[in-house]
Amino acid sequence: MTDSTDRNPEPGQVRTPDTAWPLFEVFVRGKRGLNHVHVGSLHAPDERMALHNARNLYTRRNEGVSIWVVRAEHITASSPDEKDPFFAPSGDKVYRHPTFYELPDDVPHI
């Protein structure tokens, strides 16, 4: 999600009060039957305001039937690089995919 490095203000800079508003990540369920999907983030003073702001910001045109907001700081992510040994265990297990198995073409419904 959001990288927490380099968030310090420039020396001597006066911070505006809304820096105190935490960052929330927003997830929207587009319609019944679909998963919630990450759509972006916003700042809000608390969870309730975050939900209201998310509705106004990310669902102005019926883009969703349900919204989750979660403080960005509460998200635990896998390592910085999206392609790294963390996902290696699934890389060498080709037998987990249906295409691994060769069957005769004339066997129906399989």
Partner 1 sequence: MVGTESATVDEQLHEHFTRTIERDQRVEPRDWMPSGYRRTLVRQIAQHAHSEIIGMQPEGNWITRAPSLRRKAILLAKVQDEAGHGLYLYSAAETLGVDRAELTDKLLTQKQKYSSIFNYPTLTFADIGVIGWLVDGAAIVNQVPLCRCSYGPYGRAMVRICKEESFHQRQGYELLMTMMNGTRRQREMVQDATDRWWWPSLMMFGPPDGDSPNTRQSMEWGIKRHTNDELRQKFVDMTVPQAEALGVRLPDSGLVYNPERGHYDFSEPDWDEFRRVLEGNGPCNAQRIERRREAHRDGAWVREAAAAHAAKQQRRGRAAV
Which residues make up the interface to partner 1 (CB under 8 A)? Answer: 1-7, 9-10, 13-21, 23, 39-43, 45-46, 49, 56-57, 60-61, 77, 79-83
> Nearest approach, Cβ of 79 to partner 1 (angstroms)?
8
- Least Å from the CB of residue 38 to partner 1: 9
**Shortest separation between residue 60's beta carbon and partner 1, angstroms:** 7
Residue closer to partner 1 by CB (options 5, 90) is 5
The C-alpha atoms of residue 108 and residue 34 are separated, in whole angstroms, by 31
Q: How many Cβ atoms from other residues are within 10 Å of residue 55's Cβ?
A: 15
Say how far apart CA 75 and CA 103 lie, in whole Å.
43
In the complex with partner 1, the residue whose CB is nearer, 4 or 90, is 4
Q: Are 28 and 39 in contact (CB under 8 A)?
A: yes
Of 101, 81, 107, the residue nearest 3 (C-alpha): 81
